[in-house]
Each structure stands twice: as C-alpha cells, then as structure tokens.
C-alpha cells in the first residue's frame, strides 16, 4: 500500500465521508501498479464501515476494486477459492449480517463475473437477502430502518442476479434450494406491499426449476487449469487438433465434433438433445410431489400459487 493511499483512506475514515476527487485519487493510487494489495482491500472495508454516506461513486469503486482483488487472486483467475470466500464472509459478517448496500452489490458482482464460487458463499449470499426480507431490516430498507416483511424492488433485483448467475447452484437455472427459498419468501410476505416485479420473479423462477432444460455444470478449478494450460500450449499439436476440427463434419456442437476428432465416447451414447429438453419440460411425479408440499406449507392456495400452476399448465401445453 502506498503512503498516499493510506493517507487518503485514513483521512476519509476520520471525516466519515469521501469526495469524488478522493475516490479518484484512491483509484489511481490503488491501481497504480496494476493490482490491489491485501492491505488496500482491508483498508477499503474499514473505510466503508466508517462512511456516514456511501455515494454511487463510492459503491462503484468499492465493488470494482474488491471484485478485481478477489477475482484476480483466484487460481485460475475468476475462480473464487475457499480461502477467499472465508475471508470475504468474515469481513461481511462481523455484525451477523451484511450492513451496507455496497457489500450486497459486491456479492452480486462476484456472482455475475466469477467462473466459480464455493457453495458456502452462494448459501451465504442468498441467506443475507432472505434475512433482510424476513426481518424487514437491512441495507435495502431506506437506511436500515425496520419494515414489515415485504420484498422490495432492490431485493428482487438482487435475487434475480444471484439465482440466474452462471455460478448459482444450477448454472443459468434455479436449484431446488433456491426454489424452496422463494416459497419461504412468498409465504412470509403474502399480502404485503411487495415490489410489482415479485410475482413474475417467483412464478418464472420456480417454473424454471421444474421445467427448464439445464445440463450446464461449473468446471472445477483443477479442470479449468488443465484447459487453460491446453489453450496456452504453443505446441504444433494444438494447431493440428483445430485443423482436424475444421475438416470434420461439424453437424452438432463443438463437444460432439471434438468427440469425433479425438475419439471420445462410444457407439450408442450420443445424446438426443430434443428428447432431453422435452423430458425436462414435463413435471415429473417427484417434482409434482415436491410442488404439492411447497404449496401446502402455508395451508392455503394463494394467488401466487395459482399463478404458478397456471403458468406451468400453459407452458406444458405449449411443449406438448
């Protein structure tokens, strides 16, 4: 950490406020050598704790700087490791929950930009949003004022960014745990002054869990490093591989063509993608039983339950 960075951070901390010019100076000093140092990352968290007001300029800088620090420190880059997740949760959870909107934005930013995050960090992020909704207290509630359990537009946006991110439990889709959380939020906020976008988010997210075709999976850090080394290999065999790919009859996906070129797979193992999509679109008996349990949890068939069931019926009819 440069002397100038420390001086600027200490002065802003003492004042309890930071100007746009000071933020610009911190940005220059922090990235003067092309990276954020651990001591600088710690200083940014301490400064964020002491600010009486966190402007949009500050939030943008805080999220960008710490996001870069965490993502660039992964192995490979973009992978959030267990140690990094533990450090971040420890910094965010010092009072038992996330205290500022800048910190919530940092979590959402990591989900949108990372290649992989640990399960513990996914669970923590969703638990923070759920806690704010259920308790009515937190950074999305007008300065942290207690409010009756309801779902605000800010919380809808956070939920959507986390749930539909590629590093969610079901990449690009909605997992069982995420769908169950949405049902808990629905039951806790029935009749409340919820955000206009909440019904649409609830219905489509739960339907996504039940009906969406999703065969994506996050790469492990080890596998990503292997691929990184492969793509960076200057050996002529890499060029030969892509040459064979270009000459092959690519009638399907890249993976299918690679299988033909490299000889992966066995006869009779080709996937029938159309059948898989159609099968996933149908709600199975097990999924139906799960859905029934969720609907019955509050002992009533409420308006959102009905909207969800109507949506599923219509979508299944379209896919029939």
Written as one string, the DSSP assignment of 128-153 is: HHHHHHHHT-STTSTTT----S---H
Return the pLDDT at 257. 39
pLDDT tens per residue, range 188-243 = 999 999 999 999 999 999 999 988 644 444 545 555 445 445 445 555 544 454 45
Return the pLDDT at 212. 66
Return the pLDDT at 229. 54
- Contacts of 119 by beta carbon, 8 Å cutoff, 6+ apart: 169
Mean pLDDT of 108-134: 91
- Contacts of 88 by beta carbon, 8 Å cutoff, 6+ apart: 70, 121
Domain ranges of the chain: 121-223+272-320, 233-270
Return the pLDDT at 192. 93
Q: Which 8-state DSSP code applies to residue 173?
A: S
Q: How far apart are CA 52 and CA 69, in angstroms?
A: 24
**pTM for the model:** 0.74
Rounded to the nearest angstrom, the gap between the alpha carbon of residue 103 and the centroid of all alpha carbons in its chain is: 14
φ and ψ of 76, to 5 deg: -75, 175
Return the pLDDT at 136. 86
Return the pLDDT at 185. 97
- Contacts of 48 by beta carbon, 8 Å cutoff, 6+ apart: 54, 58, 62, 100, 102, 103
Which tokens belong to 170? 């079901």
pLDDT tens per residue, range 37-94 = 899 899 999 999 999 889 999 999 999 999 999 998 877 888 899 999 999 999 999 8
Whether 186 has a pLDDT exceeding 70, the answer reads yes
Return the pLDDT at 170. 58
Q: How far apart are CA 209 and CA 185, in angstroms?
A: 16
Return the pLDDT at 80. 92
pLDDT tens per residue, range 142-161 = 655 556 789 999 999 999 99
For the chain, give the mean pLDDT. 79
SS3 7: helix
Task: Determine contact, residues 302/190, Cβ cutoff 8 Å.
Answer: yes
């Amino acid at each position: 950490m440069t002397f100038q960075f420390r001086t600027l951070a200490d002065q802003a901390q003492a004042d309890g406020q930071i100007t746009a010019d000071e933020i610009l100076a911190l940005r220059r000093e922090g990235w003067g050598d092309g990276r954020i140092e651990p001591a600088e990352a710690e200083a940014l968290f301490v400064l964020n704790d002491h600010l009486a007001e966190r402007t949009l300029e500050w939030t943008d800088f805080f999220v960008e700087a710490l996001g870069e620090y965490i993502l660039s420190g992964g192995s490979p880059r973009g992978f959030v490791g267990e140690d990094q997740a533990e450090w971040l949760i420890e910094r965010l959870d010092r009072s038992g929950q996330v205290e500022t909107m800048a910190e919530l934005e940092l979590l959402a930013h990591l989900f949108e930009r990372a290649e992989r995050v640990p399960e513990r960090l996914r669970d923590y992020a969703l638990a923070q949003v759920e806690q704010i909704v259920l308790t009515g207290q937190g950074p999305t509630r007008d300065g942290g004022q207690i409010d009756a359990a309801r779902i605000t537009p800010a919380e809808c946006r956070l939920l959507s960014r986390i749930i539909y991110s590629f590093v969610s439990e079901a990449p690009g889709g909605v997992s069982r745990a995420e769908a169950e959380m949405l049902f808990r939020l629905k039951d806790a906020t029935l009749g409340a002054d919820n955000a206009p976008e909440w019904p649409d988010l609830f219905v489509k997210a739960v339907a996504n869990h039940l009906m969406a075709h999703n065969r994506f999976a996050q790469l492990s850090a080890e596998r990503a490093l292997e691929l990184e080394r492969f793509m960076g290999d200057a050996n002529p065999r890499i060029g030969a591989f892509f040459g064979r790919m270009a000459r092959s009859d690519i009638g399907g996906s890249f993976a299918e063509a690679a299988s033909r070129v490299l000889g992966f797979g066995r006869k009779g193992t080709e996937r029938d993608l159309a059948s898989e999509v159609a099968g996933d679109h149908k709600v199975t008996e097990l999924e139906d039983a799960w859905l029934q349990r969720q609907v019955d949890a509050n002992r009533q068939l409420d308006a959102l339950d009905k909207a969800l069931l109507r949506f599923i019926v219509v979508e299944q009819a379209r896919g029939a």
